[in-house]
Amino acid sequence: MALRQLRFYGDDILRKRAKPVKHINGSIVTLLDDMRDTLRDRNGLGLAAPQVGVLRRVAVIALEDRYYEMINPVIIAAEGEQHRNEACLSVPGKSGEIDRPMYVRVEATDRDGKPFTVEGSELLAAALCHELDHLDGVLYIDKASSVSNEEAES
């Protein structure tokens, strides 16, 4: 396992649509492991493969001491609306106000090739939408009603 180099706003790869994973092999499992390590190192909430320079439909979310590893995730249901302030590891120093569904259901495949469904509301729903947007080359700043510089922490 290793830390992956993050890609930042302005890098063309962040604007490209990631390709589906056709076969789960050692490279995909290593990617998932490295993304977990990178996410943990950066103290982030979520990470999509394009953010580490890999154009594959793979994302990882860490929330409430649980990891959600998703291969080829697809939102199959969304309900309600919430207004949140979001930030992104690939857009450092900024945050933005954005509307997201209050609830989403996502179908994906795990590292063992087994399909699963994850349902989330509030923060998990927003994180799922945020990471799946990355897989389509969309950044939260594209949808935000306003973007501002984060205040420096003392």
Q: How many residues belong to the chain?
A: 154
Q: What is the DSSP string of 129-151?
A: HHHHHHHTT--HHHH-SEEEEPP
Q: Of residues 64, 122, 131, 153, which has the active-site annotation?
A: 131
The verdict on whether 151 is a catalytic residue reads no
Distance CA(78)–CA(101), nearest Å, equals 6
Return all residues near 24 (Cβ < 8 A) that are at least 6 apart.
Answer: 71, 109, 111, 112, 113
Distance CA(35)–CA(104), nearest Å, equals 23
What residues act catalytically?
131
